[in-house]
Amino acid sequence: MGTSKGAREYFPLALAVLLVMAAIRQASACSDPADTYAVEVVLNAPGTEYELSALAGAAAISYAGGTAYAYRSRYDSRLVVVVSEQELKPGSGSKHLAVRVQVPVATKEYRVYRCTLLPCCSWLLRERVPLSFTAGEGELTLDLGTLRCDTACWVRFKPRIKAWARANATLLVSGRLALKGTPIRRAPPETGGVELEYRVSMPCLLSLGEPCVRILVLIPGYDAPLRIEAGEYRATLTLHWHASAEAEGVLERVEVECSCLKVAPAEEPVRDLGWRAEEGGELVKRVGDLAVRVSPAGGGLTVLVESPRELNARELEEVLQQLGGVVPSPLKICNFTVSVESRIVPCTEIGESEVKAALKAELEWLVESGVVRGLDRGEIERIVSAAKLGYAGWNQRLVWYEGEWVPYSSVPGAALVRCLRGIQPAFQAESREYAGLPQAPSREGAQAQPAHETPLGEARAVSRALSWLQTLAIAALVALAAAALSYVVVKRAVPA
């Protein structure tokens, strides 16, 4: 009994030690904040081989848990190229050549002025509504609740339905949401006394056991924002279904997206006014050295002004005047709060297309110089086509999987990481490491310098030695933990 009790008491300690060692093993896979401004590919396609001794003139840096080789891009000398050896899973032992093209970055402090306007849109809709689907075709109308818009606004609805059916049963559910209401006092005079009504078709709300086919057209209110007038509305949802057998389900909720902007983010007037629409309906505009962001927030609007310097009241007033074309309500009541935040920003005006062109140029050179074998021009084109700015770092690097180049995070069973390390010094535009990066090595230089004299060969030897020492250290920690646990167990088992 003493041995069993001692083992139970100290098992958590041993487990903690092993978890710490596992964390050490994976620490090299942590993400870098500069990943957002880079593209990276692991050349793990079948038949791809490499020989790093063919490289010459590159600088050795610490990267991806070992030594990598960095130099300035031959396409644009402002860009950084990193050639490294990487595993697909930590500890797998099988390494592949990886190539990264990085836009140099810097850390800058910004003052962020934030103001949230009162919601112009509010709603109270039912949730967790039980549903029963009969066999064959059926229809059911649900009274959802109320929605109020104090100004004309843009809305989109997403009903979330779950259902359970017996094995091999099929169920297809579509719907139609209706809004019926009356204008409020702020509505345009031409709508006074007139009932307001809108209908939104919602095909393919749910499909079980068979695919649902719909017309590929954007439906306002469902796929895209729908403009509705200021008013108080009653919302109903009519469900239509076709089922091979009875089924039960639940309408968990109806998600509502509401924006009080004067124009829909996808419309031309947004661009005409100098705004750029981003994902989620946020609008962004540059005003001198300021970035102004307007985004929907719970039926209201949030205004952010990002500035590299402190702004006075007059400057903020001038910024607010820029919002007149997109924001309906006066902003004189907008009381800004201010905070100081650090941001990772690119130091050059290099876009995604140029970074992809640089990746193509570097891959072609690596093949021509003999560093990479088994990678043809067609495969390089496919890599470049799949690359996007931000596809870099352990989780998002491009890898070959079942004939396609995809982000590692999309590969089934991928060993993803959740940690973040500091920025690699060679990626920081104001660092000595970046300033000291050599120019891209030439093919002639690679052929002229014997492998045993290259700094890369020495770096690889150092990398192997460090990897061997790390493995030895981990083995020693395991042995120490096992010995400590055995000592405690035996000491507990033997009477004093």
The domains of the chain are located at 2-104+350-472, 108-118+264-346, 121-259
- In the three-class reduction of DSSP (H, G, I as helix; E, B as strand; rest coil), residue 57 is classed as coil
Report the pLDDT value the prediction gives residue 393, as an integer from 0 to 100: 94
Contact 479, 7 (CB under 8 A): no
Which range, 272-276, 313-317, 459-463, has the best average confidence (pLDDT)?
313-317
Higher pLDDT residue, 301 or 496? Answer: 301
H runs (alpha helix) in 50-109: none
Across 149-153, 383-387, 469-473, least confident range? 469-473
Taking the C-alpha atoms of residue 336 and residue 261, their distance in angstroms, rounded to an integer, is 19
Q: How much of the chain exceeds pLDDT 90, in percent?
A: 50
- Does position 247 have pLDDT exceeding 80, yes or no? yes
CA 315 to the chain's CA centroid: 34
- The secondary structure element, H or E, covering residue 20 is helix 2-26
Q: State the chain's mean pLDDT as an integer.
A: 82
Taking the C-alpha atoms of residue 250 and residue 161, their distance in angstroms, rounded to an integer, is 6
**What pLDDT band is residue 192 in, cutting at 50, 70 and 90?**
low
Report the pLDDT value the prediction gives residue 460, as an integer from 0 to 100: 47
Contact 232, 184 (CB under 8 A): yes
Higher pLDDT residue, 232 or 491? Answer: 232
**What pLDDT band is residue 235 in, cutting at 50, 70 and 90?**
very high
Q: How big is the chain, counted in residues?
A: 496
Across 179-183, 417-421, 449-453, least confident range? 449-453
Report the pLDDT value the prediction gives residue 453, as an integer from 0 to 100: 38
Report the pLDDT value the prediction gives residue 330, as an integer from 0 to 100: 53
Report the pLDDT value the prediction gives residue 219, as an integer from 0 to 100: 94
- Beta pairing partners, 72: 80
Taking the C-alpha atoms of residue 29 and residue 26, their distance in angstroms, rounded to an integer, is 5
Higher pLDDT residue, 334 or 361? Answer: 361
**What pLDDT band is residue 457 in, cutting at 50, 70 and 90?**
very low
- Does position 491 have pLDDT exceeding 70, yes or no? no
CA 161 to the chain's CA centroid: 26
**pLDDT tens per residue across span 325-352:** 777 655 556 788 899 988 898 998 899 9
Residue 405 neighbours by CB under 8 Å, 6+ apart: 41, 382, 383, 386, 387, 398, 399
**What pLDDT band is residue 14 in, cutting at 50, 70 and 90?**
very low
- Strand 59-63 vs strand 121-125: parallel, antiparallel, or unpaired? unpaired
Which of 312, 479, 429, 477 minimizes the C-alpha distance to 37? 429
**What pLDDT band is residue 56 in, cutting at 50, 70 and 90?**
low
Taking the C-alpha atoms of residue 272 and residue 288, their distance in angstroms, rounded to an integer, is 17
- In the three-class reduction of DSSP (H, G, I as helix; E, B as strand; rest coil), residue 65 is classed as coil
- The secondary structure element, H or E, covering residue 361 is helix 352-368
Report the pLDDT value the prediction gives residue 448, as an integer from 0 to 100: 47
Cβ burial of 186 (10 Å; 0-12, 13-18, 19+) is middle
- Strand 153-165 vs strand 247-259: parallel, antiparallel, or unpaired? antiparallel
**pLDDT tens per residue across span 68-88:** 999 999 999 999 999 999 998
- Does position 28 have pLDDT exceeding 60, yes or no? no
Report the pLDDT value the prediction gives residue 186, as an integer from 0 to 100: 52
Taking the C-alpha atoms of residue 198 and residue 221, their distance in angstroms, rounded to an integer, is 9
Which range, 79-93, 114-128, 389-403, has the best average confidence (pLDDT)?
389-403
Segment 15-36 shows an average pLDDT of 59
Tokens 């103001």 sit on residue: 115
- Does position 10 have pLDDT exceeding 50, yes or no? no
Segment 228-255 shows an average pLDDT of 95
Segment 386-408 shows an average pLDDT of 95
**What pLDDT band is residue 251 in, cutting at 50, 70 and 90?**
very high
Tell which phi-psi region holds residue 280, choosing left (phi > 0), alpha (psi between -120 and 50) or beta: left
pTM: 0.59
Contact 83, 63 (CB under 8 A): no
H runs (alpha helix) in 393-442: 393-396, 432-435
- Does position 162 have pLDDT exceeding 90, yes or no? yes
Segment 124-138 shows an average pLDDT of 95
CATH architecture of the domain covering 108-118+264-346? 2-Layer Sandwich (3.30)
Cβ burial of 71 (10 Å; 0-12, 13-18, 19+) is buried
Report the pLDDT value the prediction gives residue 479, as an integer from 0 to 100: 55
